[in-house]
Amino acid sequence: MGMASSRLVDRMTEILGPEGVISEREQLRAYECDGLMNYRVIPEIVVLPETAEHVQRIVRYCHDEGIPFVARGSGTGLSGGALPVESGVLIVLSRMRRILEVDIPNQRVVVEPGVINIWVSQAVADEGYYYAPDPASQIVSSIGGNLAENSGGVHCLKYGFTTNHVMGAEVVLPDGTMVNIGGGKAPDAPGYELLGAFVGSEGTLGIATKITLRVVRKPASVKTLLAAFKDTEEAGDAVSGIIGSGIVPAAIEMMDSLCIEAVETAVHPGFPQAGAVLIVELDGPEAEVSSQFDQTIEICEKANASEIRIAQDDEERALFWKGRKAAFAAMGRIANDYYVQDAVVPRTELGATLKRISELGSEYGMRVANVFHAGDGNLHPLVLYDNDVPGEAEKAEDLAGEIVMTCLEHGGSLTGEHGIGRDKMKYMPKMFTTEDMDTMQLLRCAFDPHHICNPGKVFPTPRLCGEKPGPFHMHPVQKAGLAENF
Amino acid sequence: MDTRTNNVSLGDLQGIVGEANAREANGSDEIDGVRPSFVAEPGSVEELSALMRFANDEGLAVAPRGGGTSSSLGNPPRELDLIVSTARMNEVIEHVPGDQVVRVQTGIRFQDLQERLAGSDQMLGVDPPERAAGATVGGIVAANSSGPRRHRYGTIRDLIIGVTVVLPDGTVAKAGGKVVKNVAGYDLGKLFTGSLGTLGVIATANFRLHPRPEAARTVAVELGDSAAAGQAAQAIMHSQLVPSAVELHWGEGHGLLTVLLEGITPAAEAQAEEAEFLLKGFGETRTLSDEEVDDLGPYAPPGSPGSGEEVALKIAFPPAELTGVLDSTLGACSRRGLDAPRITGQAGIGVLYVGLSGGDEDARVSVTEELREIWVRRGGSVVVRGAPLSFKRRVETWGRWAPGSSSPAA
Ligand SMILES: Cc1cc2nc3c(=O)[nH]c(=O)nc-3n(C[C@H](O)[C@H](O)[C@H](O)COP(=O)(O)OP(=O)(O)OC[C@H]3O[C@@H](n4cnc5c(N)ncnc54)[C@H](O)[C@@H]3O)c2cc1C
């Protein structure tokens, strides 16, 4: 790899000072991948801006010189969204960590993009508020990354995803222009709904430098139960029963036996030994929660729950959630390696899809653990494998691919929350037609005509803007031999 | 006549959508005084695509139309040759109650859809007032119309999960899907929300649904002044109540704040009791009867057809500034000699619809500009939703907004 051109280093040092620039190969290695470690690229240079103006100056320079750049928050993304570009600049936002304003009367918090998700809830907890989207990575992932991925969490079933809670953003566009999109404190900004398109655009339309979030009042009452079932099918019946009865739970999460085993070994939440467990949480006004909670218990009993535990206090509730949120990491206890899949099916297709996943696991002779957001049909099959066994990693990826295809066949989506990133570009044509993707590209080209903002992500056949649809053009990453063909 | 339509005959359009489904336009098809030449009603996405491609090839200016209730939103059309009506595309494509998702052709009337969904005890969680006048689902998406229940359920942009759009060149493209959680590709459904037909025609749309609440109670508090209005709204906002709507209705010199509480019966009742308790410090409270609720709503907000106001504004503002919005609006109207304005809107969200009447046009222009000056500076916006053409020619519809913001749409 060529050393970062000294001009680039000089210019970045001029903007950020030496402590804001990393150009030594050994140090650059720390940034070669995000949470998805299958793909690694060492960037030309890493820069650590401290202000929006820094970001603007960096991006403007990249634009003027035609240098590609990639934004990175905490690097916990699971689809390779923050994978660097070899000849490009990686803009790491982790030094932009100020909470700029807490405005309780308007129920808003204004933050810099590097602020960690949980800090927002902590900043308003004393006032009886919290920030609703709660990805399992909430103690490390950044608000900027959450915005870019439109991250979900266990409580999004009732309260919506990141996109329903971001009210405005200051954005540095790929040409270095700084704009405000969305209303911020006031709703309904006139003009196009650019904010809705920007949230979830995986860092391809610009860099958010200031974000206005909506915070919500803590519920009057919260009740949580854990129910054990013979298998995921019976647990699935309970899920359908609850949703079908008109209850909108704050969360319904399911874990299968393999997952329970791993979590028990890792964090000892004391889960019952069962084929599947459900964690169901209801929150809201007292009278509603207590009546619907009783109804939920009844539904679980009717679905043959072998055991129902009710959290007696916040501590026990936290223990249930600790078990759930540790699920991915806990896989390390029962397998050397695992591949996290993220896909969605319509809720009524859950049973059939799980059955097919288990068949696929047998066909491949591999173990698949399931932990998922059952309420909104968002599956996270974890394919377990051993990297030391030659060929296993590839086999695991193939199996994960078949699983996502199964979800599509059942009317679902390639990803519910982890994004397309680098990882799932190759599957995009399975879900979208060329016309669909070309139309999305129109939006991308409007924001980033020179294709320098997180290039090589989301779309498998990126066309240069203004180019007529036609045969595929090799992407620079591929040309450089860094990525196999799709 | 517009020269471009000279090359196009009615027969060309009938060739695409069928003889019965294209006609010469008449006075009722005008948008802000601009009369198109033709109206065509495609019956499928394929016909719609062919029609758009034809219009594009012939250089015709197109305006999509659903129920036609909000056609005059935005600036008057610069030119207009063809209205593409979605009236014949009015099917429910798929509704699986267990998924709480519905897919529709967008020409379906909102009320018809809502009735259908009620059969499964479900609903689409928006209640824009235009629904009573025959608004279609597509029109509601394109105009991003909302009503009182946005307090709880958000606006249609929060509920739309997938779209098929037909671009001006006839390209058919979809985004999103039929699952409630999905981050594959760009969220074009949101981009098209509120785009007023300027990006293309929304042909089908998929929505997340909610269970229909079993019971509803409305608690009202009489408000003597604007300060009480602001305080009462804040008291509800920061409580642990989960209202479906928090509406302000302001008449001459006093107002009413209504809080709608929905859910299972005991919960709606318990919440109503708590709301009365919270509100009684701000004025006389009572629970409204069904008839009283009907009288208040679905009310015709200022600017809706037949509401009688000359000029209808929508003021969006940080919700904690409710008192300031009321004061500035009432003050400006009285200083410029207008009638006391009629004001309704979502107090807990920060949206008020203001109907200006009385006085002369100069005065109404001045009031609009004065309010814009104040509320744009304070992070909000003042949009002209309905006004005579003469007024629209003098006052930019969308107004300026905060410096550095993206630029206006239609
Ligand atoms: C253990 C674990 C559990 C997880 N659980 C969940 C979960 O429950 N739900 C869920 O949704 N995700 C989950 N994730 C995935 C991940 O945490 C989220 O995608 C998160 O939002 C990424 O945030 P980040 O700060 O780490 O972003 P990064 O990984 O650094 O970046 C993610 C993407 O955002 C872009 N980006 C970053 N900052 C900005 C900015 N300021 N402006 C524009 N673009 C930007 C990047 O270019 C990249 O494309 C989990 C990950 C792990 C490792």
Q: CATH number for the domain including B348?
A: 3.30.70.2740
Residue B155 within a domain:
yes
Q: How far apart are CA A240 and CA A374, in angstroms?
A: 9
- Put the strands of the sheet holding B82-85 in their side by side order: B22-24, B38-40, B82-85, B62-65
CA A445 to chain centre: 24
Instruction: Test B263 with A243 for CB contact under 8 angstroms.
Output: no
CB atoms closer than 10 angstroms to residue B281: 12
Residues B305-331, mean pLDDT to the nearest whole number: 89
Tell me which residue in A104, A197, A414 faces B184 most closely, judged by beta carbons: A414
Tell me which residue in A193, A346, A439 faces B99 most closely, judged by beta carbons: A346
Is there a single domain that holds both residue B173 and residue B39? Answer: yes
Residue B253 within a domain:
yes
Is there a single domain that holds both residue B81 and residue B95? Answer: yes
Which residue's alpha carbon is at the smallest distance from atom 39 of ligand 1?
A144
Instruction: Test A199 with B187 for CB contact under 8 angstroms.
Output: yes
Per-residue model confidence as pLDDT tens digits over B7-24: 899 999 999 999 999 999
pLDDT over 60 (residue B304): no
Cβ A93 vs Cβ A73: under 8 Å: yes
Evaluate: CB of A72 within 6 angstroms of ligand 1.
yes
Q: Domain range for residue B333?
A: 311-392
Residue B321 within a domain:
yes
Report yes or no: A240 at the B interface, CB cutoff 8 Å: yes
Which of B260, B295, B330 is at the close of a domain?
Answer: B295
Residue B85 within a domain:
yes
Q: How far apart are CA B288 and CA B258, in angstroms?
A: 9
Question: Which pLDDT value is given to residue A464?
Answer: 64
Interface of A with B in 67-96 (CB under 8 A): none
Residue B304 within a domain:
no
Q: How far apart are CA A370 and CA A357, in angstroms?
A: 9
SS (H, E, C) chain B: CCCHHHHCCHHHHHHHHCHHHEEECCHHHCECCECCCEEECCCCHHHHHHHHHHHHHHCCCEEEECCCCCCCCCCCCCCCCEEEECCCCCCEEEEEHHHCEEEEECCCEHHHHHHHHHCCCEECCCCCHHHHHCCEHHHHHHHCCCCCCHHHHCCHHHHEEEEEEECCCCCEEEEECCCCCCCCCCCHHHHHCCCCCCCCEEEEEEEECEECCCEEEEEEEEECCHHHHHHHHHHHHCCCCCCCEEEEEECCCCEEEEEEEEECHHHHHHHHHHHHHHHHHHCCEEECCHHHHHHHCCCCCCCCCCCCCCEEEEEECCHHHHHHHHHHHHHHHHHCCCCCCEEEEECCCCEEEEEECCCCHHHHHHHHHHHHHHHHHCCCEEEEEECCHHHHHHCCCCCCCCCCECCCCC
List, in sequence order, every residue forming a beta bridge with A471; answer none if it has no partner.
none
Coil, strand or helix at A6: helix
Per-residue model confidence as pLDDT tens digits over B86-132: 999 999 999 999 999 999 999 999 999 999 999 999 999 999 999 98
Cβ A178 vs Cβ A208: under 8 Å: no
Is there a single domain that holds both residue B243 and residue B286? Answer: yes
Q: How many domains would you assign to chain B?
A: 3
CATH number of B163's domain: 3.30.465.10
Could you list the pLDDT tens digit for every one of the 486 residues in chain A?
445 688 999 999 999 999 999 999 999 999 999 999 889 999 999 999 999 999 999 999 999 999 999 999 999 999 999 999 999 999 999 999 999 999 999 999 999 999 999 999 999 999 999 999 999 999 999 999 999 999 999 999 999 999 999 999 999 999 999 999 998 999 999 999 999 999 999 999 999 999 999 999 999 999 999 999 999 999 999 999 999 899 999 999 999 999 999 999 999 999 999 999 999 999 999 999 999 999 999 999 999 999 999 999 999 999 999 999 888 889 989 999 999 999 999 999 999 999 999 999 999 999 999 999 999 999 999 999 999 999 999 999 999 999 999 999 999 999 999 999 999 999 999 999 999 999 999 999 999 999 999 999 999 976 667 665 444 444 444 444 443 333
Per-residue model confidence as pLDDT tens digits over B236-287: 999 999 999 999 999 877 899 999 999 999 999 999 999 999 999 999 999 9
Is there a single domain that holds both residue B275 and residue B315? Answer: no
Instruction: Test B182 with A291 for CB contact under 8 angstroms.
Output: no
List, in sequence order, every residue forming a beta bridge with A168; answer none if it has no partner.
A182, A212
Is there a single domain that holds both residue B259 and residue B147? Answer: no
Which of B178, B212, B246 is at the close of a domain?
Answer: B212
Is there a single domain that holds both residue B119 and residue B52? Answer: yes
Cβ B375 vs Cβ B365: under 8 Å: no
Evaluate: CB of A203 within 6 angstroms of ligand 1.
yes
Residue B275 within a domain:
yes
Beta-carbon contacts of A389 under 8 Å, excluding residues fewer than 6 positions away, are none
Which of B295, B321, B336 is at the close of a domain?
Answer: B295
Cβ B343 vs Cβ B352: under 8 Å: yes
Best residue in B181, B315, B400 for a mutation probing chain A (most A CBs within 10 Å): B181
Tell me which residue has tokens 């197109």.
B62
Evaluate: CB of A415 within 6 angstroms of ligand 1.
no
ipTM for the predicted complex: 0.95
CATH number of B234's domain: 3.30.70.260
Cβ B258 vs Cβ B247: under 8 Å: yes
Instruction: Test A412 with B177 for CB contact under 8 angstroms.
Output: yes
pLDDT over 90 (residue B408): no
Beta-carbon contacts of B300 under 8 Å, excluding residues fewer than 6 positions away, are B129, B132, B306, B307
Instruction: Test A285 with B271 for CB contact under 8 angstroms.
Output: yes
Question: Which pLDDT value is given to residue B187?
Answer: 98
Question: Which pLDDT value is given to residue A125?
Answer: 98
Is there a single domain that holds both residue B208 and residue B220? Answer: no
Tell me which residue in A191, A411, A436 faces B178 most closely, judged by beta carbons: A411
Interface of A with B in 379-408 (CB under 8 A): none
A413 closest CA partner among B380, B182, B265: B182
Q: How far apart are CA A231 and CA B6, in angstroms?
A: 69
Is there a single domain that holds both residue B320 and residue B271? Answer: no
Is there a single domain that holds both residue B265 and residue B286? Answer: yes
Q: What DSSP designation does A116 have?
A: B
Q: How far apart are CA A133 and CA A120, in angstroms?
A: 11
Strands B82-85 and B62-65: parallel
E strand or H helix at A309: strand A307-310
pLDDT over 50 (residue B212): yes
Of A421-425, A427-431, B146-150, B304-308, which gets the smallest average pLDDT? Answer: B304-308
Is there a single domain that holds both residue B128 and residue B33? Answer: yes
Tell me which residue in A190, A419, A436 faces B173 most closely, judged by beta carbons: A436
3-class SS shares of chain A: helix, strand, coil, % to 5: 40, 20, 40
From the CA of A162, how many Å to the nearest CA of chain B? 11
Beta-carbon contacts of A459 under 8 Å, excluding residues fewer than 6 positions away, are A425, A428, A437, A440, A441, A444
Phi, psi (rounded to 5 degrees) for B60: -85, 140
E strand or H helix at A406: helix A392-409
Residue B302 within a domain:
no
Question: Which pLDDT value is given to residue B122?
Answer: 97
Evaluate: CB of A77 within 6 angstroms of ligand 1.
yes
Is there a single domain that holds both residue B342 and residue B259? Answer: no
Which residue's alpha carbon is at the smallest distance from atom 1 of ligand 1?
A137
Evaluate: CB of A458 within 6 angstroms of ligand 1.
no
Which tokens is A427 given?
A: 């599957």
B184 closest CA partner among A457, A419, A422: A419
Residue B245 within a domain:
yes
Beta-carbon contacts of B388 under 8 Å, excluding residues fewer than 6 positions away, are B310, B311, B361
At residue B163's C-alpha, the angle toward residues B161 and B166, to 5°, is 165
Is there a single domain that holds both residue B208 and residue B224? Answer: no
Strands A89-92 and A45-47: parallel
Which residue's alpha carbon is at the smallest distance from atom 23 of ligand 1?
A145
Q: What DSSP designation does A188 have?
A: -
Question: Which pLDDT value is given to residue B160?
Answer: 98
A183 closest CA partner among B371, B314, B366: B314
Evaluate: CB of A211 within 6 angstroms of ligand 1.
no
From the CA of A343, how many Å to the nearest CA of chain B? 8
All domains of chain A in start order, with CATH? 6-92 (3.30.43.10), 99-217 (3.30.465.10), 220-333 (3.30.70.2190), 335-431 (3.30.70.2740), 434-479 (no CATH)
Evaluate: CB of A133 within 6 angstroms of ligand 1.
no
pLDDT over 70 (residue B63): yes
Instruction: Test B184 with A415 for CB contact under 8 angstroms.
Output: yes
pTM more than 0.90: yes
